[in-house]
Copies of this chain bind each other. A is one copy, B any other.
Amino acid sequence: MNNINRKKINKTDKKATIVLHSGDFDKIMSAFIVGNGFLSMGIPVTIFFTFWGLNALKKKGFKKAPLSKMNFFGLGRWMINLNIKKYNVASLDILAASFKQLGGRMIACTMTMQLMGIKEKDLREDLVTDYGSVGAYCYESIDANITLFI
């Protein structure tokens, strides 16, 4: 990294919230990588899992998550799969476990659970820290400065 000078930031008033709306492998990965990045800098992070993002919290959800794009120029599908394999399941499992261990919160959206016919027993209780509605998300986000919708 060039061009970055040390800066002094008061981290106590910083906060990140992420809506994970997508259930795509690469987007789940982005959510946890970014989440872990902020957590390791001492910034509190909450991920709110809604719509297809709820699939990430299902048993074997990480294994079944598709890529958001499969065919794109310059890379064959087999090549991605090959590279993805190095990271795939283990990676998301480790990322999610780290996220929880570092104090990250994972809220499952109760409204979309109903809409999509998902029950609490379908979700991994080792990951979910709370069940909540959009109110919980908004409440957490009011004083956040970093807010992502993935």
Instruction: Give chain A's interface residues, CB within 8 Å of chain B.
Output: 1-4, 7, 9, 11, 14, 19, 21-23, 26-27, 30, 33-34, 36-38, 41, 43, 50-52, 55, 58, 64, 66, 68-69, 72-75, 79-80, 83-84, 86-87, 105, 107, 111, 114-117, 122, 129-150
Contacts and interface: CB of A to CB of B under 8 A. Distances in A.
A14 B142 CA distance: 7
A138 B83 contact: no
Contacts of A145: 143-145, 147
Nearest to A64: B73
A132 B41 contact: no
B136 A75 contact: no
A110 to B, nearest CB: 9
Contact of A4 (B122, B131, B139, B147): B139
Q: How many copies does the complex hold?
A: 3
Nearest to A60: B73
Contacts of A132: 1
